[in-house]
Structure 1
């Protein structure tokens, strides 16, 4: 059920962005809001890891693989977002210049 909620929120955000419903002030601040939301999410994930004593106890065992997996996940997520964002924004600029 949670995955449907995530997808619904994602689609709702895409519709709001596509229809340009938000004010210009908010649209100018969206990058900062996204960064702060990501930092908050990472902070909460850190709290959850700290609460789980088994994770702390066996961190040496799973630590190396976790660090490698997390590093690759972060790096490739950032690259994917930059690639997709570049393509999407590039396409929008081309449409504006054609008219």
Structure 2
């Protein structure tokens, strides 16, 4: 059930963003809130890892695999966002040119 709620909220946000109903200052505030939420999430994850003694004891074993997984996740996430952003921006420019 939770995953459906998350997907619904994500789709609703995407629709609002695509409609262009948000003003510039709200976009800046959203970016700030998004960064703060991400930092808070990372902090909470760190606290949870620190509380779990088994994770700390097995860090040598899973550390390298985790590092590789994290690096590839970051690299391909950034590449994916750049690809999607470039595609969307290209389509927006084509629409603007056609409107003229």
Fold equivalence (TM over 0.5): yes
Distance in 1 separating the partners of 2:72 and 2:83: 16
* Structure 1 residues 12 and 96: alpha-carbon distance in aligned structure 2, compared to 1, 3 A threshold: same
What corresponds to 2:35 in structure 1? 35
Q: Root-mean-square deviation (CA), in Å?
A: 1.7
Gaps of at least 5 residues in structure 1 are: none
Normalised TM-score (structure 2) = 0.84
Distance in 2 separating the partners of 1:51 and 1:93: 50
* Structure 1 residues 22 and 32: alpha-carbon distance in aligned structure 2, compared to 1, 3 A threshold: same
- C-alpha displacement of 1:88: 1.0
Give aligned pairs, total.
99
Gaps of at least 5 residues in structure 2 are: none
Distance in 1 separating the partners of 2:96 and 2:87: 15
